Structure 1
């Protein structure tokens, strides 16, 4: 290894970038393998905790605290790129949770009740964080990160076999929320691949 580094004049910064890229590539491979297994939500939380870079540039830091109050515990509290507090909520892609209702309504795809429940839970977290925004105890627990109009990213379900109409319905669904973004595990995978230049 030393001979290779000397011969190819690899500087430490380049080496560090290469190692980081290799770690992320392995993480993507692990993510794909996990999608084929029936894993608990805890396993997914662990993976995202170690690889929160896949959430994109909207978030700059994963906070140590997850508790909103005595009754509500989020999957992750994050510091966004603008310095404010946001939420990430994960629902495992397995376990029988459905994204779209099995029947169309007026020829439209509509969210399944499973998804509506996850959206409701996410909205509840947003509401409770806004209630705690002026609490000195809560502010200290999140390291002083300011809380103004928090947003939530809900990672839910699969989209690898969606048709064009479902993709359009997803776009319309997301546009109806101003403080919530829904993203599927397959969207996460595709974004991670694009970050590493691996997407087709």
Structure 2
């Protein structure tokens, strides 16, 4: 069997990318042992001199319900006495050792002794809830005064890691808010721009939701923009994104009242059909492939248009029209941006308070 791998990125079972250097193809002959209970490959000779021979023998333990488990036997033979010494390592022990060796090698590249925080930055953009913003935020985290103070005052590596993680996360959120603001200020109106942004930053919809679903098709011909899982009950709600240049409200001069524009009314009708479909198919799960996706009387949020420069009468009209609808609400992109900024401010304030409470007096 022939496998092709990226030369510097091996995928771990737990999703981690560990750097590897494979200068040439490696041949493995996996064959059953005489006992018939395990299989093995040729041993790797680690050391062979006049006094001792050390080899690493990989073997594979089959399981009925899961894949085969890797184990490794370290065999040390004293050539003078002829006595062998064997140590067997299980797969979880091998993975822990592999990670530790990679970290130690990173420290070995430094010329002087000292205290080091080993951080893998290459995998940050590949995480589910991370994006390229996280990588860009690394510089900001290192330049953060609170983080620098923590580095100089604390020696606990777990505390350092938490401080760095918080700084990176805040930097990512700040970068995402800036990107949304720039998209609006530059007049970008394509729906897919904002749909892609929301898919990368589902936290924008608030702490009431725990995760964005990859599933978007809820029925034949019905595909929602974003579907989110409620933190309270695990049920699904939907978010429909429309163009930011669409008109939200229209004023009736004859009756002196505000009403939904045709674009907004169309989006509300579209959500009405989506909610009917989602409620019907989601009560028992979508299908055998997605039994965990459930919905019961779901709600929908329409994001459409701009409210920058609105007066109090327009803002009250939007609030009033929303309060008289059931299960569907409408918000503008400026309100979405304000929601992002409020959430960022809250997270930043909480992180600063935690940092102040954990500071050690000089």
Measured in 2, the distance between the counterparts of 1:41 and 1:35 equals 12
Instruction: Say yes or no: does 1:166 pair with 2:314.
Output: yes
Deviation at 1:125, TM superposition (A): 0.5
In terms of fraction of residues, the more helix-rich structure is 1
Equivalences for residues 83-98 of structure 1 within 5 A: 83-94=234-245, 97-98=246-247
Residue 21 (structure 1) aligns with:
170
Residue 177 of structure 2 aligns to a residue in which SS? helix
Equivalences for residues 1-16 of structure 1 within 5 A: 4=148, 6-9=151-154, 11-16=160-165
What's the Cα RMSD here?
Answer: 2.2
Deviation at 1:38, TM superposition (A): 2.5
Deviation at 1:157, TM superposition (A): 1.2
Change in CA separation of 1:147 and 1:139 when aligned onto 2, cut-off 3 Å: farther
Residue 87 of structure 1 aligns to a residue in which SS? strand
Query: Which of 340, 344, 361 pairs up with 1:192?
Result: 340
- Comparing both chains, which one has the higher relative contact order based on Cα–Cα distances under 8 Å and sequence gaps of 6 or more? 1
Change in CA separation of 1:180 and 1:141 when aligned onto 2, cut-off 3 Å: farther
- Consecutive unaligned residues of structure 1, counting only runs of 5 or more, are none
- Report how many aligned residue pairs link the two structures: 195
TM-score by length of 2: 0.50
| Cα deviation 1:49-73 (Å, max 9, x = unaligned) | 1111111112111011000112110
Contact 2:307 2:333 in 1 (8 A): yes
Deviation at 1:189, TM superposition (A): 0.7
TM-score by length of 1: 0.89
In terms of fraction of residues, the more strand-rich structure is 2
Measured in 2, the distance between the counterparts of 1:144 and 1:191 equals 29
Measured in 2, the distance between the counterparts of 1:105 and 1:128 equals 38
- Consecutive unaligned residues of structure 2, counting only runs of 5 or more, are 1-115, 118-141, 143-147, 347-362
Measured in 2, the distance between the counterparts of 1:140 and 1:17 equals 38
Residue 77 of structure 1 aligns to a residue in which SS? strand
Residue 112 (structure 1) aligns with:
261
Greater CA radius of gyration, 1 or 2? 2
Instruction: Say yes or no: does 1:145 pair with 2:293.
Output: yes
| Cα deviation 1:65-107 (Å, max 9, x = unaligned) | 000112110001111122101111100203xx21112543521
